[in-house]
């Protein structure tokens, strides 16, 4: 595998954000050392033996293009681990990528998990990390990690709202005094947006595209409110009338129409959460606003739409892909934070 991540590591401890779309790894004293798609390509020779062929970017290129014996998969769906064995292999492969020479000797690991992860799921995540070689595993809710990574005063008695739009889910949390006061999530995120674009183009233009193309459209000309000028994008796919490959030009208004339901669902969830926020904390939010993060937050003008719909300032974090991993890194650098916010020791079953 590529050696661009090979490092002489001074520390042995890691923070990991295992996202539906992307995995990031932070090494103490080094910062973020890996950010790659959460994709793994595997083959199973005859029986059950699982062989890893590629991971991350290399595996992403294989998605939808593999022969029968190989599968390129995204083992985390909607923010939930679908196959623990495969996720364990993916984690081990990522760790191998960042330290090929020395090999991590039983690192301590801080990992983020979606808010509302059940105790059974937590145990499974912890066991997956242990099986990938960790000595000690600390789990922290993604929203809390995001609040830390965004530089919010998460320990103080003041309310902050964080909205994290990932690939599989959107999570909104109100945080105060180092804890999550309330939190909601929906299974609407970047993946559902891609699917909506794909379906819209199929319905409206009788034209079939893959989900990778749909994502490219979203990133290039996606928007939640009209932009000053209309942008166009030329796509390749299959014309469903003639049955042969062709090209089609779509514009930014098409994409906004395609995404309307997903965007409305996200806005609605934020509004409902605001309605249920205790009044003292609501008052804090008027001053502090809403912090928007996760890759999906990069959808053009989504921050403006949320401002219009809530009347509150909406602040996009400077690097929405890194907010959660930076928070996990802060925890790794100072495990005492966990005690201060009342986390139980890792040995306790949770």
State the minimum distance, in angstroms, from the CB of residue 303 to Mg ion: 18
Q: Which residues here bind Mg ion, judged by CB under 5 A?
A: 19, 166
State the minimum distance, in angstroms, from the CB of residue 297 to Mg ion: 10
Size of the site for ligand ADP (CB under 6 A): 19
Structure tokens, 253 = 């208004």
- Find the binder of ligand ADP among 16, 20, 138, 291 (CB under 6 A): 20
Cα distance from N-terminal residue to C-terminal residue, the chain = 36
Query: What Å distances lie between residue 285 and 271, 278, 282, 314, CA to CA?
Result: 13, 11, 5, 10
Neighbours of 111 (CB within 10 A): 25
- Find the binder of ligand ADP among 154, 207, 321, 343 (CB under 6 A): 321
Nearer to ligand ADP, 108 or 300 (CB): 300
24 binds, among ligand ADP, Mg ion, none (CB under 5 to 8 A by kind): none
DSSP 117: -
107 binds, among ligand ADP, Mg ion, none (CB under 5 to 8 A by kind): none
Decide if 314 contacts 292 (C-beta within 8 A): yes
Nearer to ligand ADP, 56 or 346 (CB): 56
117 binds, among Mg ion, ligand ADP, none (CB under 5 to 8 A by kind): none
3-state secondary structure of 3: coil
Residue 86 φ then ψ, to 5°? -70, -40
178 touching ligand ADP, by CB under 6 A: no
218 binds, among Mg ion, ligand ADP, none (CB under 5 to 8 A by kind): ligand ADP
Enumerate residues 132-171 that contact ligand ADP by CB under 6 A: 166-168
Nearer to ligand ADP, 33 or 335 (CB): 33
d(CA 293, CA 301): 13
Nearer to Mg ion, 167 or 222 (CB): 167
DSSP 112: E
Neighbours of 279 (CB within 10 A): 7
DSSP 94: H
Nearer to Mg ion, 149 or 346 (CB): 149
Site string for ligand ADP, 194-233 (x = CB under 6 A): ---------------------x--xx--x-----------
Following DSSP, what letter does each residue of 136-204 receive, concatenated? EEEEEEHHHHHHHHTT--TTSSS-EEEEEE-SS-EEEEEEETTEEEEEEEES-SHHHHHHHHHHHHHHH
Site string for ligand ADP, 262-301 (x = CB under 6 A): --------------------------------xxx-xx--
Tell me which residue has its CB nearest to ligand ADP.
190
Nearer to Mg ion, 133 or 167 (CB): 167
d(CA 110, CA 139): 6
Nearer to Mg ion, 56 or 166 (CB): 166
Torsion, CA 133, CA 335, CA 31, CA 88, rounded to 10? 20
Nearer to ligand ADP, 9 or 198 (CB): 198
- Find the binder of ligand ADP among 88, 190, 329, 346 (CB under 6 A): 190
Structure tokens, 91 = 């984690």
State the minimum distance, in angstroms, from the CB of residue 142 to ligand ADP: 8
**Count of residues making up the chain:** 350
3-state secondary structure of 87: helix
Residues making contact with ligand ADP (CB under 6 A):
19-22, 166-168, 190-191, 215, 218-219, 222, 294-296, 298-299, 321
């Amino acid at each position: 595998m590529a050696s661009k991540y090979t490092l002489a590591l001074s520390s042995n401890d890691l923070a990991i954000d295992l996202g539906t779309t992307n995995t990031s790894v932070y090494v103490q004293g080094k910062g973020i050392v890996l950010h790659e798609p959460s994709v793994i390509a595997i083959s199973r020779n005859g029986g059950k033996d699982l062989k890893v062929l590629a991971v991350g970017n290399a595996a992403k290129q294989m998605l939808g293009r593999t022969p029968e014996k190989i599968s390129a998969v995204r083992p985390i769906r909607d923010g939930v681990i679908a196959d623990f064995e495969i996720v364990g292999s993916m984690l081990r492969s990522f760790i191998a990528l960042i330290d090929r020479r020395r090999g991590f000797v039983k690192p301590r690991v801080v990992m983020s998990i979606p808010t509302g992860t059940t105790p059974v799921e937590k145990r499974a995540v912890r066991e997956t990390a242990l099986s990938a070689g960790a000595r000690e595993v600390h789990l922290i809710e993604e929203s809390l990690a995001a609040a830390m990574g965004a530089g919010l005063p998460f320990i103080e008695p003041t309310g902050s709202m964080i909205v994290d739009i990932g690939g599989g889910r959107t999570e909104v949390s109100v945080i105060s005094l180092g804890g999550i006061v309330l939190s909601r999530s929906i299974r609407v995120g970047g993946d559902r947006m891609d699917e909506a674009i794909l379906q819209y183009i199929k319905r409206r233009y009788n034209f079939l595209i893959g989900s990778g193309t749909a994502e490219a459209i979203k990133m290039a000309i996606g928007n939640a409110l009209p932009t000053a000028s209309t942008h166009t994008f030329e796509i390749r796919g299959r014309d469903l009338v003639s049955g042969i490959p062709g090209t089609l030009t779509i514009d930014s208004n098409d994409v906004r129409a395609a995404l309307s339901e997903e965007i409305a669902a996200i806005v609605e969830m934020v509004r409902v959460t605001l309605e249920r926020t205790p009044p003292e904390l609501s008052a804090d939010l008027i001053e502090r606003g809403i912090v928007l993060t996760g890759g999906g937050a990069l959808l053009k003008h989504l921050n403006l739409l949320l401002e219009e719909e809530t009347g509150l300032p909406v602040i996009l974090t400077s690097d929405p892909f890194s907010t959660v991993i930076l928070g996990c890194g802060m925890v790794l650098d100072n495990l005492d934070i966990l005690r201060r916010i009342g986390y139980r020791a890792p040995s306790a079953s949770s």
